């Protein structure tokens, strides 16, 4: 039993469902882009934007905000959708994703859209920048926190491990890293392409505090973040076990959905499934 009241959990599940529907609509309009990872991180982004983070959608440059970095920029649709539903910009703007002159670039660009914190897409660079921000907050005795969302595939980049060492060296307990542990990357399973396991042990060996969570249980996600925030003297990682394409039956667990958008009929079916799930939220069934 988590700490959140059931009604609050249901609210967050509805936000996650909205985010998923926004992802499907924007990817359909774009005609290209990454469905699988975007969908599987919807619950984490719902928890971050609608419960965990200190932020103000009307004042994205607020100096005291928590910083959220999306290191695996290819899943930008989940962030754009979460930001739109949180009030950063009109939901309709999601339909401009990946179009010429859009603020919603195929991979996130900080100078293009307020509230993004970094430019990303080239993998493995988020934790290093987050480490810099967290160290800056410490230098200035600020109490805002840094959250970095990473993919499992980008754990094959050397720079990420350089950042892990550095964050531990400086005892950056104001830094929390999420891992989208869907065990999938472009060429197949991460464990076939370049094995990451035992991933939790590797983080522990690098002097990080490790939490593992079902990445589709919003209540458990919120509790994990609270536990992470209570840690002193160490950066924390939350390994979120996720299912690629979560919420759309024909995408779930299939690596072929890493980098393609739904076609019209697939999008219709996906939205139908998501709406059915939404109607059941709070009625004992899961969203």
Partner 1 sequence: MTNAASAAMHLTDYGNGDALKLVPTRNGFGTGLVEAGERDANVIAICADLSESTRMEAFSKRFPDRYVEIGVAEQMLVAMAAGLASVGKVPFIASYAMFNPGRSWEQVRTTMALNETNVKIAGAHAGVSVGPDGATHQAIEDIAIMRVIPKMTVVVPCDSVQTRKATLAVAARWGPTYLRFARAESAVITTEDTPFEVGVAQTFRDGDDVAIIACGILVYNALIAADELARDHGIACRVVNNHTIKPMDEAAVVAAARDCGAVVTVEEHQVHGGMGSRVAEILAAQQPVPIEFIGVQDRFGQSGAPTELVEHYGMGVTAIREATLRAHARKRAAR
Kindly indicate which of the ranges 16-24, 184-192, 201-209, 220-228 contains the residues binding ligand TPP, using the contact rule CB under 6 A.
Answer: 184-192
Give the pair of three-digit tokens for residue 126.
């988020």
Give the integer Cα–Cα distance in Å for 139 and 219.
33
d(CA 200, CA 177): 12
258 interface partner picked from ligand TPP, partner 1, Mg ion, none, CB below 5 to 8 A per type: ligand TPP
What string marks each residue from 54 to 83 as x (binds partner 1 by CB under 8 A) or -? -------------------x----------
Q: Is 113 left (phi over 0), alpha (psi -120 to 50) or beta?
A: beta
Plot region of 14 (φ>0 → left; ψ -120 to 50 → alpha; else → beta): alpha
Whether the bond into 198 is cis, omega within 30 of 0:
yes
Q: Please report whether residue 36 would count as binding ligand TPP according to CB under 6 A.
A: yes
User: Which residue in the set 21, 26, 151, 236 belongs to the binding site for ligand TPP (CB under 6 A)?
Assistant: 151
Rounded to a whole number of angstroms, the minimum distance from the CB of residue 77 to partner 1 is: 12
User: What is the maximum span of the chain, computed from C-alpha positions, in angstroms?
Assistant: 53
Helix (H, G, I), strand (E, B) or coil at 157: coil
Tell me which stretch binds ligand TPP (CB under 6 A): 44-52, 146-154, 196-204, 223-231: 146-154
Q: What is the dihedral sign for C-alpha 163, 165, 166, 170?
A: positive
- Per CB under 8 A, which of residues 199..238 are in contact with partner 1? none
Can you give the binding site for ligand TPP, defined by CB under 6 A? Answer: 34, 36-37, 72, 74-75, 121-124, 151-154, 180, 182, 184-186, 258
Can you give the binding site for partner 1, defined by CB under 8 A? Answer: 30-33, 73, 98-102, 105-107, 109, 119-124, 153-154, 156-158, 185-187, 190, 192-194
């Amino acid at each position: 039993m988590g700490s959140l009241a059931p009604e609050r959990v249901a609210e967050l599940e509805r936000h996650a469902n909205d985010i998923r529907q926004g992802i499907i609509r924007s990817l359909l309009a774009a005609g290209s882009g990454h469905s699988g990872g975007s969908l599987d991180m919807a619950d984490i982004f719902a928890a971050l934007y609608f419960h965990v983070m200190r932020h103000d959608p009307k004042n994205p440059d607020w100096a005291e905000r928590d910083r959220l970095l999306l290191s695996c920029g290819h899943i930008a649709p989940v962030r754009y959708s979460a930001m739109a539903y949180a009030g950063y910009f009109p939901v309709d703007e999601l339909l401009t994703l990946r179009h010429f002159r859009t603020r919603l670039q195929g991979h996130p660009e900080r100078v293009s859209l307020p509230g993004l914190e970094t430019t990303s897409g080239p993998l493995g660079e988020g934790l290093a920048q987050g480490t810099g921000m967290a160290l800056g907050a410490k230098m200035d005795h600020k109490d805002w926190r840094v959250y970095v969302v990473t993919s499992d595939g980008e754990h094959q980049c050397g720079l990420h491990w350089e950042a892990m060492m550095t964050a531990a060296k400086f005892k950056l307990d104001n830094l929390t890293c999420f891992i989208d542990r869907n065990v999938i990357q472009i060429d197949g399973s991460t464990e076939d392409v370049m094995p990451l396991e035992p991933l939790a042990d590797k983080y522990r060996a690098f002097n990080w505090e490790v939490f593992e969570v079902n990445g589709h249980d919003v209540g458990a996600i919120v509790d994990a973040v609270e536990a992470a925030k209570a840690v002193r003297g160490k950066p924390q990682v939350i390994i979120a076990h996720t299912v690629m394409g979560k919420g759309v039956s024909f995408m779930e667990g299939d690596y072929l959905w890493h980098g393609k958008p739904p076609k019209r009929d697939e999008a219709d079916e996906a939205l139908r499934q998501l709406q059915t799930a939404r109607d059941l939220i709070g009625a004992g069934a899961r969203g």
